[in-house]
């Protein structure tokens, strides 16, 4: 079961946001937003570091804050850190991040999707954003992070715990924000990466940009591919051949000294080609191709108007996403085939105003969304009159809209910052809901910072859960959606303390607890049997809890040496069945070491140990240990030749073992070259 959360608390009609949205348009209403440290607000939202070298983050409060002094704890993986981890996509960049679980082995029934688990919540209970805009096109509720390349990112920000007060539905377990940025230098700039991998893997990444004062433009390209992996017996593929492609354009300029505009457009194509065989009585063995292809297009426009000189501004954004996907079973030399076609559209408008008022910072904004989803099944069957092909809805077409008002104010009281916030949201299907949050940060001394937050999480049922009609009678079952589902809802609290005695070491401890009601899952205990075929549907039931903690330490005893270690504990409980939630490893240890021994070399090693996890009363998912290594040397200025290995000890999934969450790929070896332009030393 994936953890859930969405809460529909009724509010008076006078404050409800009334939005009637169809698949072709939307109507926006004003709203409220977030706040942060006033001195930082004067900086541009694209700023990566402040004058002291501290990373600037935006996801936890929707406004720029110094990471070390942020009111809401935000973890950051920069592009350079992702490269050191040997990552070419977001899944690999987050796979060894302390406190997170990213493992495609957990979702084998979805085709190897690399989804994320935070605080025991996974799939569609962790919100994935690109530059603050929700990513659509999930597979069974899971966004495939391996399909999002790292070539054009500036950093990835991760906020754990309920953040529905800022981001609405699905932000129950946390938020991952994948952030791009304009070229940092004047004139022409570029970046390239060529990498060869085992399994005949290939990675090509290229970025070219030009900046002259305020106007700038950039072009991004990514191509990755990998061979499939065969099963021990027969021509069947255990993992399909994969390819991912992305082409993007980004640009920006100043319309006036106070007004900036940015635009981002990208096209993704993800393709897998599987192969399996099936024996038909009296007909022999059929070879079946199982292709799957996704085309995703995104368009995002941001307009910012600066007001005064203290950091006040008005930000308007408009987004549009197109998602088209098909999966098929094509029997060679036979007309008996089937194909599933899925279409999803999302358009959005958001307005956010920030007012910096001395020690108080107000943010106010609004968001409106219009979303449409449909899924058709085309099937050819054999009849007495010959093959007959039919096309019918597999998920009934669904269109709905969301309008939201959300607000937040940051009040500095000496060394304490208090950050209350609330979101009112109206769903054309579920009416109104409210999600409050209260966060606070106390800088006790120059070396000790304490943070705490608590809030409401909620999640509306997905289109699949509402309208799915999946006929798998050949295997003895059918699955149906349930249009009477209620949204999920949760409460969660988080706290952490950071101690930095000096610039050479940092210690951090954190804890959390969550409670979720009205969980949505398949009701396998009340299936109906008709002629030997069982029918199941989704339903609201039960209550679940998650809790845990994490201890981190960072040491930099010398300029050429950096060491990090982390221990994370996760406890979960399914209160309906009085047992843990399945597939949640309770213990994880992560250790990394970076050494620059001289001779323009860099050595990086990372180890992760994960214990076994509960599956049911009779079985457990096996624990595992992963070791990643990377050795790089500068070839010329701003370039590196590198070699490395992911999962060096070749820990891999046993295909015949139910619930095995270890990596299905095993060891990946790679060698590559990356370089930035211009090549001159700064």
Q: What is the enclosing helix (H) or strand (E) of 316? A: strand 312-331
Q: What is the dihedral of CA 409, 413, 415, 419, to 10 degrees?
A: -20
Q: What average pLDDT does the chain have? A: 83
| 534 close to 518: Cβ distance less than 8 angstroms | no
CA 491, chain centre distance (Å): 21
Q: Between these two residues, 523 and 261, which has the higher pLDDT value?
A: 261
Residue labelled with tokens 């959005």: 348
Give CA–CA dist 586/294, Å, rounded: 34
Please, is 210 exposed, middle or buried when counting C-beta atoms within 10 Å of its C-beta (0-12, 13-18, 19+)?
middle
80, 297, 507, 508 from 246: Cα distances, Å: 20, 10, 39, 37
Within-domain flag for 12: no
Give CA–CA dist 367/349, Å, rounded: 6
* Domains of the chain: total: 1
Give CA–CA dist 581/596, Å, rounded: 43
Mapped onto helix, strand or coil, the DSSP state of residue 117 is: strand
State residue 335's pLDDT score.
86
State residue 41's pLDDT score.
32
Specify whether the backbone of 375 is left (phi greater than 0), alpha (psi in -120 to 50) or beta.
Answer: beta
State residue 7's pLDDT score.
34
User: The domain that contains 49 carries what CATH number?
Assistant: 2.40.170.20
pLDDT for 399 beyond 60 = yes
Within-domain flag for 590: yes
Q: How confident is the model at residue 645 (pLDDT cuts 50, 70, 90)?
A: very high
Report pLDDT digits (tens) over 584-593. Answer: 899 999 999 9
Least confident piece of the model among 5-14, 300-309, 428-437, 447-456: 5-14
pLDDT for 597 beyond 60 = yes
206, 326, 459, 462 from 396: Cα distances, Å: 41, 16, 20, 12
| 130 close to 113: Cβ distance less than 8 angstroms | no
| 375 close to 393: Cβ distance less than 8 angstroms | yes
HEC secondary structure over 212-273 = CCCCEEEEEEEEEEECCEECCCCCCEEECEEEEEEEEEEEEEEEECCEEEEEEEEEEEEEEE
State residue 545's pLDDT score.
93
pLDDT for 108 beyond 50 = no
Report pLDDT digits (tens) over 232-262. Answer: 777 888 888 999 999 999 999 999 999 999 9
Residue labelled with tokens 């570029």: 190
Q: What is the CA radius of gyration of the chain?
A: 25
- 128-151 average pLDDT score: 81
Q: Phi/psi at 110 (nearest 5 deg)?
A: -100, 5
Closest CA to 547 of 614, 621, 613, 492: 492
Give CA–CA dist 68/551, Å, rounded: 16
Report pLDDT digits (tens) over 310-364. Answer: 789 999 999 999 999 998 989 888 888 899 898 999 999 999 999 988 889 999 9
Report pLDDT digits (tens) over 451-475. Answer: 999 999 888 887 667 766 665 555 5
Within-domain flag for 23: no
8-state DSSP, 104: G
Mapped onto helix, strand or coil, the DSSP state of residue 166 is: helix
Bridge partners, 255 (sequence order): none
Within-domain flag for 1: no
Closest CA to 419 of 401, 436, 438: 438
Entry pTM: 0.84
Q: Where are the beta strands (DSSP E) in 460-600?
A: 469-472, 477-480, 488-502, 505-517, 520-522, 528-530, 533-540, 543-558, 561-574, 587-598
- 518-533 average pLDDT score: 71
Q: What count of residues does the chain have?
A: 682
Q: Which two tokens stand for residue 168?
A: 């609405």
Exposed e or buried b per residue across 446-460, where buried means at least 16 C-beta atoms within 10 angstroms of its C-beta: eeebebbbbbbbbbb
State residue 110's pLDDT score.
38
The boundaries of the domain holding residue 644 are 38-677
Give CA–CA dist 162/514, Å, rounded: 9
pLDDT for 527 beyond 90 = no
Within-domain flag for 7: no
Give CA–CA dist 369/402, Å, rounded: 5
pLDDT for 70 beyond 60 = yes
pLDDT for 54 beyond 60 = yes
State residue 260's pLDDT score.
95
8-state DSSP, 441: E
Report pLDDT digits (tens) over 175-228. Answer: 999 999 899 889 999 999 999 999 899 999 999 999 999 999 999 999 999 998
Give CA–CA dist 88/202, Å, rounded: 10
Closest CA to 458 of 428, 436, 481: 436
| 496 close to 568: Cβ distance less than 8 angstroms | no
Percent of the chain at pLDDT exceeding 90: 45
**DSSP letters of 20-33?**
--BTTB--------
Q: Tell me: cis bond preceding 678? Omega within 30 of 0 counts.
A: yes
State residue 476's pLDDT score.
60
Give CA–CA dist 208/189, Å, rounded: 6
Within-domain flag for 195: yes
Report pLDDT digits (tens) over 615-626. Answer: 888 888 889 999
Q: Any residues with CB less than 8 A from the CB of 70 and at least 6 apart, and which?
A: 36, 37, 57, 60, 61, 441, 451
Within-domain flag for 14: no
Q: What is the enclosing helix (H) or strand (E) of 164? A: helix 164-167
Q: Which two tokens stand for residue 547?
A: 């809790």
Mapped onto helix, strand or coil, the DSSP state of residue 41 is: helix
Within-domain flag for 3: no
8-state DSSP, 3: -
29, 94, 291, 615 from 270: Cα distances, Å: 36, 20, 11, 31
State residue 395's pLDDT score.
76
Q: Between these two residues, 522 and 501, which has the higher pLDDT value?
A: 501
Give CA–CA dist 188/130, Å, rounded: 25
Give CA–CA dist 503/51, Å, rounded: 16
Please, is 186 exposed, middle or buried when counting C-beta atoms within 10 Å of its C-beta (0-12, 13-18, 19+)?
exposed
């Amino acid at each position: 079961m994936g953890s859930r959360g969405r809460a529909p608390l009724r509010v008076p009609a006078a404050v409800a946001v009334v939005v009637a949205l169809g698949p072709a348009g939307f109507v926006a209403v004003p709203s409220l937003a977030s706040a942060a440290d006033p001195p930082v607000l004067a900086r541009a939202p694209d700023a990566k570091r402040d004058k002291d070298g501290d990373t600037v983050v935006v996801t936890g409060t929707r406004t720029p804050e110094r990471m070390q002094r942020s009111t809401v704890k935000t973890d950051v993986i920069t592009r350079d850190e992702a490269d050191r981890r040997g990552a070419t996509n977001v899944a690999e960049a987050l796979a060894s991040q302390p406190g997170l679980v990213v493992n495609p082995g957990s979702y084998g029934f979805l085709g190897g999707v690399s989804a994320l688990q935070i605080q025991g919540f996974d799939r569609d209970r962790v919100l994935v954003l690109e530059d603050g805009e929700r990513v659509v096109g999930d597979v069974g509720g899971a966004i495939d992070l391996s399909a999002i390349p790292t070539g054009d990112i500036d950093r990835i920000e991760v906020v754990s715990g309920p953040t529905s007060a800022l981001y609405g539905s699905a932000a129950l377990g946390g938020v991952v924000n994948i952030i791009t940025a304009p070229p940092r230098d004047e004139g022409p700039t570029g970046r390239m990466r060529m990498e060869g991998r085992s399994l005949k893997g290939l990675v090509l990444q290229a970025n070219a940009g030009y900046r002259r004062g305020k106007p700038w433009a950039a072009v991004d390209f990514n191509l990755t591919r990998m061979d499939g992996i065969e099963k021990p017996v027969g021509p069947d593929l255990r993992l399909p051949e994969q390819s991912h492609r992305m082409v993007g354009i980004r640009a920006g300029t100043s319309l006036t000294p106070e007004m900036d505009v940015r635009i981002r457009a990208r096209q993704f194509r993800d393709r897998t080609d599987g192969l399996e065989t099936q024996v038909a009585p009296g007909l022999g063995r059929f070879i079946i191709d199982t292709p799957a292809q996704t085309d995703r297009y995104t368009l995002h426009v941001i307009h910012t108007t600066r007001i005064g000189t203290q950091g006040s501004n008005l930000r308007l954004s408009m987004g549009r996403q197109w998602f088209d996907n098909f999966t098929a079973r094509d029997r060679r030399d036979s007309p008996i085939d089937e194909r599933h076609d899925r279409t999803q559209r999302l358009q959005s408008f958001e307005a956010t105003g920030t007012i910096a008022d001395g020690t108080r910072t107000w943010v106010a904004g609004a968001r409106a969304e219009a979303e449409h989803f449909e899924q058709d099944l085309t099937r050819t069957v054999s009849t007495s009159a010959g093959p007959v092909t039919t096309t019918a809805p597999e998920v009934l077409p669904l269109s709905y809209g969301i309008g939201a008002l959300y607000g937040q104010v940051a009040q500095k009281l000496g060394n304490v910052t208090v950050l209350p916030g609330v979101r009112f949201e109206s769903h054309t299907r579920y009416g109104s809901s409210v999600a409050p949050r209260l966060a606070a940060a106390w800088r006790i001394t120059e070396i000790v910072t304490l943070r705490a937050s608590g809030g409401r999480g909620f999640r509306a049922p997905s289109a699949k859960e509402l309208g799915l009609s999946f006929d798998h009678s050949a295997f003895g079952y059918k699955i149906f959606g349930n249009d009477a589902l209620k949204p999920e809802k949760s409460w969660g609290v988080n706290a952490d303390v950071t101690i930095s005695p000096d610039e050479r070491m940092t210690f951090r401890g954190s804890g959390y607890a969550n409670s979720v009601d009205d969980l949505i899952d398949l009701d396998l205990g009340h299936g109906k049997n008709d002629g030997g075929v069982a029918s199941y549907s989704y339903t609201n039931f039960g209550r679940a809890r998650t809790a845990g903690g994490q201890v981190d330490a960072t040491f930099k005893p010398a300029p050429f040496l950096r060491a990090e270690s982390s221990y994370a504990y996760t406890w979960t409980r399914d209160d309906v069945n009085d047992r843990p939630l399945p597939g949640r490893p309770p213990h994880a240890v992560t250790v990394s070491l970076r050494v620059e021994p001289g001779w323009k070399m860099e050595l990086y090693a990372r180890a992760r140990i994960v214990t076994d996890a509960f599956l049911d009363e009779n079985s457990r998912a096996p624990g595992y240990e992963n070791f990643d290594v990377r050795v790089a040397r500068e070839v010329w200025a701003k370039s590196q030749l590198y070699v490395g290995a992911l999962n060096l000890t070749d820990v891999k999934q046993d295909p015949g073992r139910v619930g095995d969450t270890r990596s299905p790929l095993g060891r990946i070896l790679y060698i590559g070259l990356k370089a930035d332009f211009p090549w001159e030393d700064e």
